[in-house]
Structure 1
Amino acid sequence: MATNTTTKKPATAAEENTEAVTETAEARPERARRAPTVVGPPLGEDQEPVTVTLSHHLRIDGADYTPGAEINVSPDYARRLRVQGFTARSR
């Protein structure tokens, strides 16, 4: 069995930088203030994004979304997700 002979270095640099960072809306970049991003196919002309709550795990464009996650999608894609059973029941 191999043993590790290196010693653990103290985490002094991490301990020194414990101040909370606060950021105002004016300090945020412009892209952070944009409308929520749409997942999946892009919106069509004059369409508003629809927020859906997922009932199952879903991977879209390389990103994983867990059950209960709320995502913004195009109305057409929301309809397809409902038909396939990926969205939670609405009230």
Structure 2
Amino acid sequence: MATNPTTKKLAADAAAEESVEALPETAPVRPARKAALGADVVGPPLPLNVEPVTVTLVHHHTIDGIGYRPGAKLLVSPEYAQRLRGQGYATQV
């Protein structure tokens, strides 16, 4: 005598399975990069009573999801300017 290896699905299981199959699978959405806009202070926020410093980038660099090309002039905090210069992203002035 032959046996059937498949099992019967209950109506609730079949409905749940159909609703799962009906949903399209989507890839995770990666946030789009923003274009560099105005001359605002970028990077970490400025401490109180500290003037921003202008730096010129030597290499492409992304700050807060915004891509900046070589030659871009940015206003940054003095501490961040020192870090950028030390890492080779900004010109030594």
TM surpasses 0.5: yes
1:55 to 55, 58, 64: 58
Structure 1 residue runs of 4+, over 4 Å off?
none
Equivalent pairs, count: 55
- Unpaired runs of at least 5, structure 1: 1-35
In the TM superposition, what whole-angstrom CA distance separates every residue of 1:37-68 from its partner, at most 9, and x where no partner exists? 11000000110000000000000001000000
Partner residue, 1:20: none
How high is the sequence identity, in percent, across the aligned residues?
58
Name which of 67, 88, 91 aligns with 2:91.
88
Give the alignment's TM-score, normalised by structure 2: 0.56
Q: Give ranges in structure 2 of 5+ residues lacking alignment.
A: 1-38
Instruction: Quote the residue 1:12 is aligned against.
Output: none
Larger radius of gyration: 2
TM-score using structure 1 length: 0.58
Alignment of 1:1-91 (within 5 A): 36-90=39-93
